[in-house]
Amino acid sequence: MAISLRLSRGGSKKRPYYRIVVADARSPRDGKFIEKIGTYNPLLAKDDAKRIVLDGERAKYWLGVGAQPTDRVARFLDVAGIKERAAKNNPNKGKPGEKAVERAEERAEKLKAAEEAAAEAKAAAAAAAAAPAPVEEAPAEGSNEEAEAVLGAEIEAATEEPTAEAEQVAEATSEETPPAEA
């Protein structure tokens, strides 16, 4: 029979409380157990003495009989000085995946291209500022006269007195909408 030292959850929803138990490895997490050897309350502060309560003598006995602790219980036993646990190290855990690396490379390429374009624009602006300004030629005489004629016609059309039709439309709209009260 495989025996394990593990946590058995108690408490209500979002208020966990665990018992540290010795149980058959095949039994359910919160099911039948052989012996309760401690408690763990994750809601208490990390420096609180009641956060982890463990019977060290019984834990040593069960380890001597061949019980295997889960990772979390092994951490508790290591802190209590009962069983030393080698720290695990996974250097690849924090590395981003393939797609994230591809997105980062694309982002870096776009940023580099934008910086190059900005540098080229800045260089072009500096070159334009350093070059002498081109002298504008005077427009042809005919074009000035044409522009004045068009502008004069627009001014005359705007200053004409309203026609009879425009007056009727204005009267009809003023009758339909009452004046706004202040």
Per-residue pLDDT tens over the stretch 98-117: 999 999 999 999 999 999 99
- What was the pLDDT predicted at 174? 58
- Could you tell me where the beta strands, DSSP code E, fall in the chain? 3-12, 15-24, 35-40, 52-54, 68-69
Query: Residue 37 falls within a domain, yes or no?
Result: yes
Domain span at residue 54? 3-80
> What is the average pLDDT value for the chain, to the nearest integer?
82
Whole-number Å distance between alpha carbons of 174 and 142: 46
Per-residue pLDDT tens over the stretch 18-72: 999 999 999 888 888 999 999 999 999 999 999 999 999 999 999 999 999 999 9
Query: Hey, how many other C-beta atoms are within 10 angstroms of the C-beta on 69?
Result: 22
Query: Residue 45 falls within a domain, yes or no?
Result: yes
| Domain of residue 24, CATH code | 3.30.1320.10
Residue bearing tokens 């092994």 = 74
Domain count across the chain? 1
Query: Residue 49 falls within a domain, yes or no?
Result: yes
Write the CA distances from 82 to 49, 87, 94, 158, integer angstroms. Answer: 17, 15, 31, 100
Helices 56-65, 71-80: inter-axial angle, 10-degree rounding: 130
Q: Quick check: 165 pLDDT over 80?
A: no
- What was the pLDDT predicted at 159? 59
Query: What share of the chain in percent tops pLDDT 70?
Result: 71
Return the sign of the alpha-carbon dihedral for residues 48, 41, 86, 22.
Answer: positive
- What was the pLDDT predicted at 128? 79
